[in-house]
């Protein structure tokens, strides 16, 4: 009976794994820049790393989750646009490495992760000077592994969004100018598609920007990103605990307190990460400003088109007024023609053939005067232009 229940539990577990997880390709890049493509599901990753299943849910491409940077004790989980990765202190797990958008990120990780190499001569110093003018000395090898991987991911996301924004600008501005010059259904539909693309792209950029801004506004969140520091401090705390249990506790208590104070100060130091996040926050802010400028240009174009349409509508109203006035005058002329065209014998119709031309001439003069009076009255009231 116990064996059958175990088999039933195993069958349920296998069925749950098949339904809940779909094997996906992952690229594992270590600190030496060596990569290996593996086919893991959520359970394989959870056995390899102490990560909850709900944290891996945001990496599922079948589910639409906004951009997020989750920090756990031993890993950083990234869901930024096309980059879905897990960063630890010595390796990076990148989802779908064969995708066209992800392949350049894999190459960049393999190029720059080993000892932080990959930048040109003098480029690292220029980057540091741009981030902070107060930094006098800095060793690339001291930059934690997780920050080097995070930098590659942020650079890939910001560059991709900026490139998409530039492509949108290249197609948007000529289309808007063409719509301004000639308003028709083809140009309107073209601008409508561009505006829809701009709205979606703005939403994506805004999500990445908000995530970076949230990290920059909270020092505790930035401190949690120091995975290497947390591991080193945990090891240091364990060592200090062993020392306090030794018989030399009294003689070493002073140095122990000093080391705890130093560790606490180091834990609160987030200058390196702040400079890193600030640099890419400014880049994503620049992209956001481009989209804002494009949106304003689209709004201005829409206002201009609406003004043009209002002007055309007013012209049509004026034309309708002229036609209505002419119709009234023709109705008066038709009334006179109808009266004199009746086949009724009257004494005054006999031997008065000259009356025909006078009736025609007087009726035309009266109708013309009536038309001019109606137009003058409309202009006096401001109903038509001068």
HEC sequence for 112-147: HCHHHCCCCCCHHHHHHHHHCCCCCCCCHHHCCHHH
User: What is the full per-residue pLDDT of the chain (386 aa) written as tens digits?
Assistant: 444 555 555 554 554 444 444 445 888 888 787 888 888 888 888 888 888 888 888 888 777 788 888 888 888 999 988 888 999 888 898 888 888 888 888 888 888 887 655 444 444 455 445 444 433 333 344 678 888 899 999 999 999 999 999 999 999 999 999 999 888 889 999 999 999 999 999 999 999 999 999 989 888 888 888 888 777 776 665 565 555 555 444 444 444 444 444 444 455 577 888 898 999 999 999 999 999 999 999 999 999 999 988 888 888 888 888 888 888 888 887 877 777 776 656 665 566 666 667 777 888 888 888 888 888 887 787 777 65
User: Which pLDDT score is estimated for 22?
Assistant: 42
Name the phi and psi angles at 85, rounded to 5.
Answer: -145, 160
- Interacting residues of 41 by C-beta distance below 8 A, sequence separation 6+: 17, 21, 22, 23, 24
Q: How far apart are CA 329 and CA 320, in angstroms?
A: 14
Q: How far apart are CA 369 and CA 328, in angstroms?
A: 12
Q: How far apart are CA 383 and CA 386, in angstroms?
A: 10
* 84 class by beta-carbon count within 10 Å (0-12 exposed, 13-18 middle, 19+ buried): buried
Residue in 37, 38, 312 with CA at minimum distance from that of residue 183: 312
The SS3 assignment for 64 reads coil
Q: How far apart are CA 73 and CA 242, in angstroms?
A: 23
- Interacting residues of 268 by C-beta distance below 8 A, sequence separation 6+: 219, 223
- Length, in residues, of the chain: 386
User: Which pLDDT score is estimated for 42?
Assistant: 81
At which residue do the structure tokens 């926050």 appear? Answer: 281
Give me the torsion for CA of 75, 80, 81, 87, rounded to 10°. -30
User: Which pLDDT score is estimated for 368?
Assistant: 85
Q: Where are the alpha helices (DSSP H) in the chain?
A: 2-20, 42-48, 53-56, 103-112, 123-131, 145-181, 185-216, 219-224, 227-244, 249-267, 271-340, 355-380
Residue pair 272/147 in contact (Cβ under 8 Å)? The answer is yes
User: Which pLDDT score is estimated for 195?
Assistant: 93
Residue pair 112/119 in contact (Cβ under 8 Å)? The answer is yes
User: Which pLDDT score is estimated for 131?
Assistant: 44
What are 209's strand-pairing partners?
Answer: none
Q: How far apart are CA 226 and CA 137, in angstroms?
A: 20
Buried b (16+ CB within 10 A) or exposed e, 197-231: ebeebbebbebbbebbeebbeeeeebbbbbbebbe
User: Which pLDDT score is estimated for 140?
Assistant: 40
pTM, full prediction = 0.70
Q: How far apart are CA 266 and CA 139, in angstroms?
A: 17
Residue pair 364/333 in contact (Cβ under 8 Å)? The answer is yes
Buried b (16+ CB within 10 A) or exposed e, 336-366: beeeeeeeeeeeeeeeeeeeeeeeeeebeee
């Amino acid at each position: 009976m116990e064996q059958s229940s175990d088999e039933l539990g195993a069958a349920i577990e296998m069925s749950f794994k098949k339904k809940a997880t779909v094997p996906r390709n992952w690229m594992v890049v270590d600190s030496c820049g060596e990569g290996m493509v593996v086919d893991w599901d959520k359970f394989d990753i959870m056995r390899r790393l102490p990560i909850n299943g709900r944290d891996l849910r945001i990496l599922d491409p079948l589910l639409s989750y906004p951009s997020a940077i989750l920090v756990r004790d031993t890993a950083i989980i990234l869901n930024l646009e096309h980059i879905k990765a897990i960063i630890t202190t010595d390796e990076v797990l990148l989802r779908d490495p064969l995708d066209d958008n992800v392949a350049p990120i894999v190459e960049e990780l393999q190029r720059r992760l080993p000892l932080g190499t990959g930048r040109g001569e003098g480029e690292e110093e220029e980057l540091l000077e741009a981030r902070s003018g107060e930094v006098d000395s800095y060793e690339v090898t001291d930059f934690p592994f997780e920050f080097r991987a995070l930098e590659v991911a942020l650079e890939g996301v910001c560059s991709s969004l900026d490139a998409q924004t530039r492509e949108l600008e290249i197609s948007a501005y000529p289309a808007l100018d063409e719509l301004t010059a000639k308003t028709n259904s083809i140009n309107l539909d073209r601008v409508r598609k561009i505006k829809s693309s701009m709205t979606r792209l703005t939403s994506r950029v805004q999500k990445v920007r908000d995530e970076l801004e949230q990290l920059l506004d909270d020092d505790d969140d930035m401190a949690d990103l120091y995975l290497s520091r947390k591991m080193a401090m945990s090891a240091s705390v364990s060592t200090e605990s062993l020392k306090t249990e030794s018989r030399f506790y009294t003689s070493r208590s002073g140095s122990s307190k000093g080391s705890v104070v130093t560790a606490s100060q180091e834990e609160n130091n987030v200058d390196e990460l702040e400079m890193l996040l600030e640099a890419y926050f400014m880049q994503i802010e620049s992209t956001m400003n481009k989209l804002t400028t494009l949106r304003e240009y689209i709004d201005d174009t829409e206002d201009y088109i609406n003004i043009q349409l209002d002007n055309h509508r007013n012209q049509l109203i004026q034309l309708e007024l002229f036609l209505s006035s002419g119709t009234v005058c023709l109705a008066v002329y038709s009334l006179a023609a109808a009266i004199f065209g009746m086949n009724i014998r009257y004494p005054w119709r006999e031997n008065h053939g000259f009356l025909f031309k006078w009736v025609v001439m007087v009726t035309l003069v009266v109708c013309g005067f009536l038309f001019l009076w109606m137009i003058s009255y409309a202009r006096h009231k401001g109903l038509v232009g001068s």
